[in-house]
Structure 1
Amino acid sequence: MSSFALKTIALFLMLLDHLYQFLGFTGMVPIWFTWLGRLSAPIFCFCMAQGLAHTHSRKIYLLRMYLFSLAMSVGNLVLTALLPGSPSSGIPNNIFATLLLGAAIIVCMEQMAADRQKGQMIWMYFIGIELAGFFLGDMLTRAGQTTAAQILQILIPTPLTVEGGVFFVILGPLFYYFRFSKKKLAIMYLVFSLGLCLSSSIAWYLLGMSAWDAFFGVQYQWMMVFALPLLWRYNGQKGKSSFKYLFYFFYPLHIWILYAVSAFLPQ
């Protein structure tokens, strides 16, 4: 299975997930749509790692991801300002920022392996920017400067503020590190999924929720484990290169359309 085939499957599953996210309040979209959607983000992280390993220019790859992240964030803010009546209460989605940070970490890792001294400088620069962005954003938020904080978050996405958080930021680099061994990659992914499941379920258990409600009604991210058979079938091929930008444009457009539809539907 090529990376194009994987991305196509992930796009479809992602569409189901977002149908539930934005239109679930109507009662017409079943919850299992979002269960299936749990498979999409890991597949995109996997494809990012493979794409970065085979790209001709990592600088262009990172720049493209950053520009689409900016465009997505700005579009989210503009649309929510124009249509504030949606039951979804905003648009938190921007997987571009998550993939960007994962790709940046991979580049830092590779630079460290190639030139330790230069790699350390790049790591320090990257970590410094991320810490400055996070703490400055927190200070602005506490001071009531929410608009300035939002702009800063758009310009400097951080692992604690992007979609999926730290877990999905590091998943891409893990896929990259284990890309030469399907067996090791599978073990890593199973352990990662289990760790994510346990860390989340403990919190819900402490809140007094039943196991069924916690695992199938609130915290169902563990279902991402079912993406493994698809990842296992990856054949190292790129697939149809003519559809290179399909994901880049389909992702924000379908989210904006679904959000707009939800804003006009009766609640």
Structure 2
Amino acid sequence: MSRSQLKMLAVITMLIDHVGAIFFPSVPLFRIIGRLSFPLFCFFISEGLLYTSSIKSYLTRLFFFSLISEVPYDLAFHGTVYYPQSQNVFFTLFLGLAAIAILHTYLIARPAPAVLLAVACALLAEVLHTDYGWFGVVLVIIFYCFKNYSTRGMLIFTVFNTGYSLLTGTIKLYAALAGFPILAYNGKRGKWNWKYFFYAFYPVHLLILYLVHKVAF
């Protein structure tokens, strides 16, 4: 699978997940299918670090979309424009990127501070109550650390996801299925290069789902 195909799979499964969460919360199939999306997005954060021409611009872009996604996220899932107890997933991905950017830049020269700062990013995600919290940041780190060992990386991901799922909710076990399309990834960009589409889709689709739910119910 190409990068664009894998991203489209992530977007589609995310949409299915959010439709289920907002409209059909008692139907688990939507959430099961949706478990594939988050590991795929974490994988792309680690891939993006390798392909970006500017880590600073990449971080800035993620943080910008974190900010503009917060109101649609709060409206869609909490029915209010401001819900400080939960932050959208872009914040998690931003902190995941920050963690691997630190490791990428400083791990060889200054290993102890680099590891401590990466851990701090995971802890900050938990303190801020970002979607998926520390787990999401660590997942990005896992994909980054095993970028050259795909099979081994998927095994570590599966074990890590299984342990986390048994502690927090067994439906998350299905996220391990994301390992199959990731292993099928061929490293090529693919036909589509809709970079900003994938960023904008998150806040836009949440706002649309909120409005449809508001009108329908």
Alignment of 1:1-267 (within 5 A): 1-24=1-24, 30-76=27-73, 80=75, 89-90=79-80, 94-116=88-110, 120=113, 127=120, 158-160=125-127, 161-200=129-168, 219-240=170-191, 242-266=193-217
Structure 1 residue 190: deviation in Å? 1.5
Quick one: distance in 1 between partners of 2:158 and 2:119? Answer: 29
| CA positional deviation for 1:163 | 0.4
Q: CA deviation at 1:170?
A: 0.9
- CA positional deviation for 1:111: 2.3
Mapped contact 1:21–1:88 kept (Cα < 8 A): no
Q: Distance in 2 between matches of 1:122 and 1:178?
A: 16
TM-score, normalised to structure 1's length?
0.71
The Cα shift of 1:13 comes to: 0.7
Moved more, 179-188 or 232-241: 232-241
CA distance in 1, matches of 2:11, 2:77: 24
Give the letter aligned to residue 248 of structure 1: Y
Aligned equivalents of 1:121 and 1:196: distance in 2? 24
Describe the shift of the 1:195–1:59 C-alpha distance in structure 2 as closer, same or farther (beyond 3 A): same
Q: Return the alpha-carbon distance in structure 2 between the equivalents of residues 130 and 175 of structure 1.
A: 15
1:167-204 Cα distance to aligned partner (Å, 9 max, x none): 11210111010010122112111211211122225xxx
C-alpha separation in 2, matches of 1:112 and 1:50: 18
* 1:64-114 alpha-carbon deviations (Å, 9 max, x no partner): 00111011124445xx4xxxxx78545856221111010000011122224
Aligned to 1:205: none
Structure 2: distance between partners of 1:125 and 1:185: 19
- Larger Rg: 1 or 2? 1
**Distance in 1 between the 2:87 and 2:7 partners?**
18
C-alpha separation in 2, matches of 1:192 and 1:179: 16
Q: Specify the code of the residue in structure 1 equivalent to 2:177.
A: F
Alpha carbons 1:66, 1:100 under 8 Å: kept: yes
Change beyond 3 A, Cα 1:19–1:125? closer
Following the alignment from structure 2 to structure 1, what is the Cα–Cα distance between the partners of residues 198 and 103? Answer: 26
On the 8 A contact 1:48/1:103 being kept in 2, the answer is yes
Unaligned runs of 5+ in 1: 81-85, 135-157, 202-218
Cα deviation 1:216-235 (Å, max 9, x = unaligned): xxx41111011111010011
